[in-house]
Structure 1
Amino acid sequence: MANYRYGEYDGGPDPLATPYDVRGALDDMGDDILGGGTPAEALRDLLRRGWQNRRGLDDLLRRVRERSRELRSRGRLDGMLEQARALLDTAIGQERAELFPDPSDDARLREADLDALPDDTSRAIRQLADYDWRSQAARETFDKLRDLLRREVLDSQFRGMKEALENPDPAAMQRVKDMLADLRTMLDADTRGEHTQEDFERFMGEYGDMFPENPQNLEELVDSLVRRMMAAERLLNSLSDEQREELANLMAQALEDAGLAAEMAALGDALRARRPELGAPQRGVRMSGEDPLGLGDATSAVSDLADLAELESALGQDYAGANLDDVDEEAVRRAFGRQAVDDLEALRRIERELQRQGYLTNNGGNLELTPKAVRRIGDTALRRVFAGLENGMRSGDHDLHDAGQAGDLTGATREWEFGDEQPIDVPRTVRSALLRSIGQGGLPPATPRGAAEGRRGRVKLSPRDFQVAETERRNSAAVSLLVDLSYSMALRGTWAAAKQTALALHALLRSKYPQDAIQVVGFSNYARELRETELAGLGWDMVQGTNLHHALMLAGRHLDRHPEHEPVVLIVTDGEPTAHLQRDGRPWFDWPPAPETLELTLAEVDKMTRRHAALNIFMLAEDDRLSAFVDNVARRNGGRVLRAAPEHLGEYVVNDFLRTRGARRQR
């Protein structure tokens, strides 16, 4: 027998993993969309809240702000100046204590030199560089000061260097010089296009302990160095002019003492040539702590604060074209660890999967729902409407399990077409497949039952083989739902209910009455027909005008295209007509309504009456002028007027439609 080895699968995504189910995410978005939000707003709110035990952007933002407050309270940025001055004063005090008992002129001259030292710490240290200390304790304190400055200054440029130089061994400083030289050589080789990953790995093998960020390639190393240099500049810009000058002089003096001034200047030039952003002015930061911070620690705090500020902006997603890809994953990892990165990736996956599985499309940066998503959201809206219907108002139609069937079976069949919901005729479907297979050369011979090759005689079905059972045709309806989109709908808080009602009615007709023809018309200053995919992402129009005249014209054309259907017209509005369409196609608005507006609107009402289409109007506001208008429409047309609270609008509209349709079937 062959030998087999089993190991962890590493050929890509797990082929046995269950599909990523984002329908629950879409349902959560649907709550916001049915509440009047757009798809982009609903997705943003979902990502802010988080999903399925994953932290959302709001939680990450909260942690960013808490971390920023913690860093700001850590200490003072001028701590290096305070530490240096304290050590310098200690050394001078120790020297004075040694000189005081000595009555010689040399002792007095030395005291005079100490008295003449400048107040500026960096200049004082420079003058004392060649001073011959009498006190051994003072000499050691001064050496400690200079060593501290060297380590802190290098730590401000290379994170972790302070620990690497904890032992003041000349060999350790020489290793730093060798590292800078090799780093320059590597950068120059990369500029010439001669750098390789092997060169970088050799460099890290030699000096990796000096770079605790553990970069994986030269670009990551350059990133860490650039962030450090920018943080050092921000630190200086956070100080007063006097403090800035004194600290800059201290840093320059420390590098000169260490023999690294030329090397660091050359490295800075090389990095600026690669990253022009180093030349841009850096804003300072504010710290609120009381404890003095060393230069390296202060630089780290400033660098982390800068990262957090950028992270806060990216997580806020409050700018044009915002995307989760804008969030720096490495910045999240540095601030909060691997778990936060996993949460961020889970949020990114939601957005990707919604698009990959066909629920969302990105059309030129505009997020839109697909028909598949709208159908699911519409079904949710319909379930809510049915849940709100009182038992006494319920119609039996919505509980039928044979949704989509048009009537009793006739015995005839026909080929299945996309969208058909009639039952499949299994025997005739299999017969069609057999005839097709024989026509294409015959079926492979079947072997005796139970034989190893017995499965070769199976019949393969294709979509064109399917046959559906013909049914008797029921009465069909041409339904036109006219929805007010004017600004007043938003002001009164009724627009969300109108949107949910339109989606619910669409879902009802699609699932229960697929033979009906539905049209949704939105009207404000103009009227326009709305596709199902537009409904979910639709917002109200911030314009003046309630052009019911134009909406009725579009509805009339819809009814005329389906003369064999029963006409049903439903109107949802919160105001009387205040606009009409002129002969040149432009809208005319006036308030109170112009007589011509009312005349033209009522003329369209009369046309609807001649089409035998009853206009059922759902009023969303109590207004005397609106009441007078709709009562006039009811008298002329014979339709009904229903005063509906916004929270029950969907129930009223759907229930009214079901009653009307039930009455038609009984005739």
Structure 2
Amino acid sequence: MTAPDRYSYGPYHEGPDPLAPPVDLSAALEDIGRDVLEGSSPRSAMEELLRRGVRGTQGLDDLTRRLWQRRAQLQRRNRLDGTMQRAKELLDKALEAERRTLFPDPSDDARFREAQLDALPTGTAAQINELAQYDWQSDEAREAYQELQDMLGQQLMESRFQGMKQALEQSTPEDVERIREMMTDLNDLLLSHLRGEDTKDKFDRFMAKHGEFFPENPRNVEELIDALAQRSAAAQRMMNSMSEEQRAELGELMGQAFGDPRLAQQVAELDANLRALRPGEDWQGSGRFRGNNPMELGEGVQAMQDLAEMDALAEQLGQSYPGARLEDIDLDSLRRQLGDEAAVDARRLSELERELRAQGLFERAPDGSLRLTPKALRKLGQTALRDVVTSLRSRKGERDTARAGAAGEPTGSSRPWQFGDTEPWEVSRTVRNAVLRSVSTGSGAVDLDVSDVEVVETEQRARAAVALCVDTSWSMVQDGRWVPMKRTALALHQLIKTRFRTDALQLITFGRHAMNVDLAELVGLEGVWEQGTNLHHALLLAGRHLRKNSDAQPVVLVVTDGEPTAHLEPDGEAEFHYPPLPRTLRSTMAQVDALAKLGASISVFMLGDDPRLAEFVDLVARRGGGRVIAPDLDGLGAAVVGDYLRSRRAR
């Protein structure tokens, strides 16, 4: 025990890193937002983020790639005949030592024994079986043969009980007898369970007697069966991976485990019981090993288990099954196969997914699909607007005008007076500043100084009705204008909803037809192959919006990369033709004139350098008293927002 005012420190083990930085949701949302703007669904965008990863954290694709590399490396570097090769080496050692002892002996018995050795059958396993009753004359040969039998016993046990090889490295006859007794009791327990008997008490007695052989410490017979069946099935898959000759020879070798054929028979009985209890395990699979490193039986079984574990991890990392969640990933298995860093990355991805869902950034649409919530759209809008403001500030000849209009309405805040300000004084704050300054200087009287003066912040409150018409024809997608268009709408929406809340914004998309959309619909809009640029229909909808808000200053902003090629017929059908029909141009210009009568000037943001489009938008500007702006894609948002702010300043 340490004293209450003392602290003890030690190494960090397991669990989340308490010093790890928090999950960066803003960066993750920006990545998701970029993919959504490009046409991905929110679900696909989130899945893509998790596959790609975030800064400082490997994604699912990287983890899966490393997993497949490790899997291929395991099979490419190893082969499965290590036990047979080791058995041959020990047998050759024993035979060589025996022949060295017999050679100088002139007796007939020595010649007879040499003849016995010369007459041994071909094949390592057959020779070992033949020598089971041989009376070795060489102590070195006897020890080598005993080492061979012990090695086979250790390998057989390791193939069914992980870690048994190390426990039996210094095995004695008493240890072997205890193993045989454990195997007998184990098979008896499994047979009872297979018959449907209540085996709880029998299991408790079994573990009390033989628990040292099971470091997994199973809590009941089902957990015991699960652990044994996985290992046994891996051993069977390893046998399936061998050639027929190799399987036969290995089976014969196991008959000499510890020099007692009964042990191999008990293992065969164990396998049969486990196969009956767990038929769902993979007993038929196999793997191809083609390397130069020979693996012994226990190592081969572990390799098969590793392959199965990696296959399961690959499925978990793939997240392709119904209801998949990152919490499904077995972090302990991932740590075993790829190390601690991989487990930490998977945990952080799981936390990121959980936080994205918990923070209310996604919601279910009426059709059951996943979409961004207003909260998420606000965050994306803030990012888009921030980029636009940065672009505006970097423009030569323009400056950030945060100063409110002199004839506007009070915003509720004040600021220190500056030379040239004409706003009314904020009297209470001015007097308070004077009092605080006088007290701080020790002056008995309160004197008013120019530094004390604060003026009332005011803001222009003239209301505007804004129609932003954006071209959604296929050329916008094809020429890389899709995402800048959406980011422009996000920035303008964010500016109006936060700075000019009384303004009425309507988003209008136009391709073959036009439609009013909300921000979530526009952000999630996917590009589709559709011919037609129906500006006529878009201006019709813009006019309805302006008439609906007749008390507001009308503002129409059009973003397009093509001349009108479609118009709306009286029956509601859109007629498309390229090059444009005269009646399409007439119908469109009629709507320009109708908007001009409502007092609206149309600002057209022309993308691309199509001469026919330039000719048309110049005509629109002359007829409607508007402007034509030809920004590059990076400056589109700044151009639209800047024009909107210019129209407000003009009012």
Match of 2:633 among 619, 633, 646: 646
What secondary structure is seen at the aligned counterpart in 1 of 2:602? strand
1:377 is displaced (CA, Å) by 1.4
Q: Within 1, Cα distance between the matches of 2:540 and 2:184?
A: 81
Tell me what 2:510 maps to.
523
The 5 Å alignment of 1:253-268 reads 254=257, 257-268=260-271
1:516 is displaced (CA, Å) by 1.5
Match of 1:350 among 349, 352, 364: 352
Opposite residue 117 of structure 1, the aligned amino acid is P
* 1:121-166 Cα shifts (integer Å, max 9, x gaps): 3334334334444544434323322221121122122211111222
* 1:525-574 Cα shifts (integer Å, max 9, x gaps): 44443322334444423444444344334333333432333322222222
Q: Using a 3 Å threshold, how does the CA distance of structure 1 residues 485 and 91 change in structure 2: closer, same or farther?
A: farther
The 5 Å alignment of 1:414-425 reads none
Q: Within 1, Cα distance between the matches of 2:372 and 2:600?
A: 33
The 5 Å alignment of 1:32-431 reads 32-33=34-35, 36=38, 38=40, 39-40=42-43, 42-44=45-47, 46-47=49-50, 56-57=59-60, 60-61=63-64, 64=67, 67-68=70-71, 71=74, 75-100=78-103, 104=108, 107-108=111-112, 111=115, 114-119=118-123, 121-184=124-187, 188-189=192-193, 192=196, 194=198, 206-213=209-216, 220-251=223-254, 254=257, 257-279=260-282, 281-286=284-289, 288=291, 290-317=292-319, 323-336=325-338, 340-361=342-363, 366-389=369-392, 390=394, 394=398, 399=402, 407-408=409-410
Q: Is the 8 A contact 1:476 1:566 kept in 2?
A: yes
Q: Which runs of 5+ in 2 are unaligned?
A: 1-18, 413-457
When the two structures are superposed, what TM-score results if normalisation uses the length of structure 2?
A: 0.76
1:81 is displaced (CA, Å) by 1.9
Tell me what 1:463 maps to.
none
Tell me what 2:492 maps to.
505
* 1:266-300 Cα shifts (integer Å, max 9, x gaps): 43344334444324532414453x33222112322
* 1:611-644 Cα shifts (integer Å, max 9, x gaps): 4433322122112333233334334433322111
What secondary structure is seen at the aligned counterpart in 2 of 1:145? helix
Percentage of identical aligned residues: 43
Q: Within 1, Cα distance between the matches of 2:180 and 2:142?
A: 26
1:372 is displaced (CA, Å) by 0.9
Q: Is the 8 A contact 1:150 1:258 kept in 2?
A: no
Match of 1:656 among 627, 643, 647: 643
Q: Is the 8 A contact 2:234 2:283 kept in 1?
A: no
Q: Within 2, Cα distance between the matches of 1:593 and 1:220?
A: 75
* 1:312-351 Cα shifts (integer Å, max 9, x gaps): 4533557786531342223123335666544433322222
Q: Using a 3 Å threshold, how does the CA distance of structure 1 residues 108 and 270 change in structure 2: closer, same or farther?
A: closer
Opposite residue 122 of structure 2, the aligned amino acid is P
Q: Within 2, Cα distance between the matches of 1:406 and 1:251?
A: 96
Q: Which runs of 5+ in 1 are unaligned?
A: 1-16, 411-470
Q: Is the 8 A contact 2:28 2:54 kept in 1?
A: no
Tell me what 1:461 maps to.
none
When the two structures are superposed, what TM-score results if normalisation uses the length of structure 1?
A: 0.75
Opposite residue 631 of structure 1, the aligned amino acid is D
Tell me what 2:542 maps to.
555
Q: Using a 3 Å threshold, how does the CA distance of structure 1 residues 220 and 577 change in structure 2: closer, same or farther?
A: farther
Tell me what 1:416 maps to.
none
Q: Within 2, Cα distance between the matches of 1:353 and 1:319?
A: 22
Q: Using a 3 Å threshold, how does the CA distance of structure 1 residues 550 and 133 change in structure 2: closer, same or farther?
A: farther
Opposite residue 574 of structure 1, the aligned amino acid is D
What secondary structure is seen at the aligned counterpart in 2 of 1:171? helix
Opposite residue 518 of structure 1, the aligned amino acid is L
1:63 is displaced (CA, Å) by 5.4
Q: Within 2, Cα distance between the matches of 1:365 and 1:218?
A: 44
Q: Using a 3 Å threshold, how does the CA distance of structure 1 residues 292 and 20 change in structure 2: closer, same or farther?
A: closer
Q: How many residues align?
A: 591
Q: 379-388 vs 62-71, which deviates more?
A: 62-71
Q: Using a 3 Å threshold, how does the CA distance of structure 1 residues 78 and 395 change in structure 2: closer, same or farther?
A: same
* 1:78-131 Cα shifts (integer Å, max 9, x gaps): 222211222223333344445555564884586266435033x33343343344
Q: Is the 8 A contact 1:509 1:518 kept in 2?
A: yes
Q: 373-382 vs 159-168, which deviates more?
A: 159-168
Q: Is the 8 A contact 2:487 2:637 kept in 1?
A: yes
Q: 593-602 vs 561-570, which deviates more?
A: 593-602
The 5 Å alignment of 1:595-614 reads 597-598=584-585, 600-614=587-601
Opposite residue 301 of structure 1, the aligned amino acid is A
Q: Using a 3 Å threshold, how does the CA distance of structure 1 residues 287 and 485 change in structure 2: closer, same or farther?
A: farther
CA RMSD of aligned residues (A): 4.4
Q: Within 2, Cα distance between the matches of 1:362 and 1:186?
A: 52
Q: Using a 3 Å threshold, how does the CA distance of structure 1 residues 89 and 396 change in structure 2: closer, same or farther?
A: closer
1:607 is displaced (CA, Å) by 4.1
Opposite residue 494 of structure 2, the aligned amino acid is A
Tell me what 2:528 maps to.
541
1:221 is displaced (CA, Å) by 4.4
Q: Is the 8 A contact 1:394 1:655 kept in 2?
A: no
Q: 646-655 vs 489-498, which deviates more?
A: 489-498
1:634 maps to 2:621: yes
* 1:387-438 Cα shifts (integer Å, max 9, x gaps): 11135565766x3699xx983599xxxxxxxxxxxxxxxxxxxxxxxxxxxx
Q: Is the 8 A contact 2:32 2:49 kept in 1?
A: no
The 5 Å alignment of 1:446-461 reads none
Opposite residue 314 of structure 1, the aligned amino acid is Q
What secondary structure is seen at the aligned counterpart in 2 of 1:572? strand
Q: Is the 8 A contact 2:255 2:261 kept in 1?
A: no
Q: Within 2, Cα distance between the matches of 1:123 and 1:550?
A: 91
